[in-house]
Chains A and B, each alone.
Chain A
Amino acid sequence: GAVVSQHPSRVICKSGTSVKIECRSLDFQATTMFWYRQFPKQSLMLMATSNEGSKATYEQGVEKDKFLINHASLTLSTLTVTSAHPEDSSFYICSALLAGVYEQYFGPGTRLTVT
């Protein structure tokens, strides 16, 4: 149990375009989902906390107008990278929190390359 999917797994886009990444909890409901960014050989950097039905809470230094997060249902959160630039190229990982037991389950990640 506790499976989280993420789509797409890889995406290449041109500078200036927008990209949407979906994160789904497949077998449990998640009121809270997290979005992370990971640079090569580094730890996970929390970008924002997404709560179902409310606005996401962004970490300091993360532009909320550039990284749009929508948590429209208990099983789906989306991250849209708007007007992407090469410096946005990274590995983006979502996770879903299993309420009550604090367990966090991660998606497989999305490799974004902006050319």
Chain B
Amino acid sequence: GENVEQHPSTLSVQEGDSAVIKCTYSDSASNYFPWYKQELGKGPQLIIDIRSNVGEKKDQRIAVTLNKTAKHFSLHITETQPEDSAVYFCAASISGNQFYFGTGTSLTVIP
């Protein structure tokens, strides 16, 4: 089955700096890669996603890149703000049939 690895497990950045979280996957059939933000005590929130036919996608301060050959994808957050502090999960899916999650990255933005 699919195996998703996520690094780092914790990340601290100064406000205004950039944050990068990386994930790798094992199943070349995976074609959908979402990223979720989870605040304490809440359910995960879809923040951005990328499909296998695209190499990069950007939405304001967040962007995701995908390298299908290397089987890795990354989340980039620029100009970080304290409200970006949360746990971020990557996931890989084959057409939405099942989602395989990374182990999460706890991001702390220091004011």
Residues of A with Cβ closer than 8 Å to B?
2, 4, 6, 32, 34, 42-44, 46, 49, 93, 95, 97, 99, 101-109, 111
Contacts and interface: CB of A to CB of B under 8 A. Distances in A.
Contact of B36 (A49, A106, A107): A106
28 contacts: A2-B46, A4-B43, A34-B99, A42-B104, A43-B89, A43-B101, A43-B102, A43-B103, A44-B44, A46-B98, A49-B98, A93-B44, A97-B96, A99-B96, A102-B34, A102-B49, A102-B93, A102-B95, A103-B34, A104-B34, A104-B46, A104-B93, A104-B96, A106-B43, A106-B46, A108-B42, A109-B42, A109-B43
Contacts of A103: 34, 46, 49, 96
Dominant secondary structure of chain A at its interface with chain B: strand
Contacts of B14: none
Contacts of B95: 102
A46 B42 CA distance: 17
A95 B44 CA distance: 9
Interface in B64-111: 89, 93, 95-96, 98-99, 101-104
Interface band, chain B: 20 to 34
Contacts, number: 52
